[in-house]
Amino acid sequence: MVIVIKPGTTDEAILKVKKEMEAQGFTIHESRGANFCVLGVVGDTAAFDVRNLMVKDCVEKVLRVQEPYKRANRLFHPADSVIDVSGVKIGGNKVQVIAGPCSVESEAQITAVAEAVKKSGATLMRGGAFKPRTSPYSFQGLREEGLDLLQIAKKKTGLPIVTEIMSARMIERYVEDVDLIQVGARNMQNFELLKELGRTRKPILLKRGLSATIEEWLMSAEYIMSEGNENVILCERGIRTFEQYTRNTLDLSAIPVVKKLSHLPVIVDPSHAGGLWWLVEPLAKAAVAAGADGLLIEVHNDPEHAKCDGAQSLKPERFDNLMNSLRIIAGAVGRTI
């Protein structure tokens, strides 16, 4: 349930409404903007008589939220959320670009790629330390050593780190060393992991599951937010359909749909969607035009010999050309890169 407060209401009157609702066992989520104040009421409100609220002078209207996700719902938070990742704002006017290799392979590799993507305009660095693979015989990542190498690259470039977490037992290390913790598609519904991440205040990048509906995706975000961590960024990375030519099918419609339903930022991973390097450029351009708040792009200095996903990785010079094109498209839709 959402209580919309009348403009000009005093803080004392708002606090009184909050305390009255909390006394009845509800949790209150307050959202304020320049000209609005909204109180999101979390709990079983089915039997609650809204007329008890409507008689108050400070209440504009009361809305019942039909969707199962509450904190992620735009009704609870009418303004777009902007998530601060170590000084990089995701969800604002600037389209942020996260770039780097699928997996960290060596100090020379990750530092070279990080320096190249930063020069081209990327504002965050990605790199997989722990790699979830379909086959147990495929390269699984350098694990803790990979995290150490990401730290070295960060010190050399200043780029915040984005990398995927696989297990709740690593949360303490990730909170200390990682700027944006990625939850991969395979773990989107690992609810115990999501709840543990929700008890931190670290920004979380939540990828859409392989065949997840938009509501299921938002409900996974709700698991994180229900524990108190509202620093969630959603990532569309393509879903599994009957088409086999591309690795996944990029659901561009998810961008405006999620923005209508939720206040959370949405970024797009064109690399995992297409699975082929030459598809990354057109998909990235389309994502920016459709309103994405950021991009997650795989870049490798030697993709022919990459240990993971070389076929979908751009070489640094191609990434640089793409960034130049994206600046034009972003400008055409009133944004910057």
Q: Shortest CA distance to 3 belongs to which of 37, 50, 39? A: 39
Same domain, 155 and 217: yes
Q: CA angle, corner 247, sides to 124 and 258, nearest 5?
A: 60
Percent helix, strand, coil in the chain, to 5, is 40, 20, 40
Report whether 274 contacts 246 (CB < 8 A).
yes
Structural domain of residue 59, as residue ranges? 2-63
Same domain, 87 and 185: yes
Q: Shortest CA distance to 225 belongs to which of 204, 207, 241, 239? A: 204
Helix (H) or strand (E) holding 172: helix 171-177
Report whether 280 contacts 270 (CB < 8 A).
yes
pLDDT tens digit at each of 337 positions of the chain: 999 999 999 999 999 999 999 999 999 999 888 888 999 998 888 888 888 899 999 999 999 888 999 999 999 999 999 999 999 999 999 999 999 999 999 999 999 999 999 999 999 999 999 877 777 767 777 889 999 999 999 999 999 999 999 999 999 999 999 999 999 999 999 999 999 999 999 999 999 999 999 999 999 999 999 999 999 999 999 999 999 999 999 999 999 999 999 999 999 999 999 999 999 999 999 999 999 999 999 999 998 988 888 899 999 999 999 999 999 999 999 999 9
Q: What is the pLDDT of residue 137?
A: 67
Tell me 1's DSSP state.
Answer: -
Residue 68 lies in a domain: no
Q: What is the CATH number of the domain that holds 315?
A: 3.20.20.70
CB-neighbour burial class of residue 155 (10 A; exposed 0-12, middle 13-18, buried 19+): exposed
Tokens of 108: 């020379």
Report whether 33 contacts 78 (CB < 8 A).
yes
Same domain, 131 and 21: no
Q: Report the C-alpha gap between 207 and 140 in whole angstroms.
A: 19
For the entire predicted model, the pTM comes to: 0.91
> What is the SS3 assignment for 175?
helix
Report whether 140 contacts 134 (CB < 8 A).
no
Tokens of 322: 């793409």
Query: What is the count of structural domains for the chain?
Result: 2
Q: What is the CATH number of the domain that holds 16?
A: 3.30.70.1140
Report whether 45 contacts 1 (CB < 8 A).
yes
* Residues whose CB is less than 8 angstroms from the CB of residue 99 and which lie 6 or more positions away in sequence, other chains included: 113, 117, 120, 122, 124, 125, 126, 296, 297, 298, 299, 319
Residue 314 lies in a domain: yes
Tokens of 36: 């609005």
Residue 71 lies in a domain: no
Residue 76 lies in a domain: no
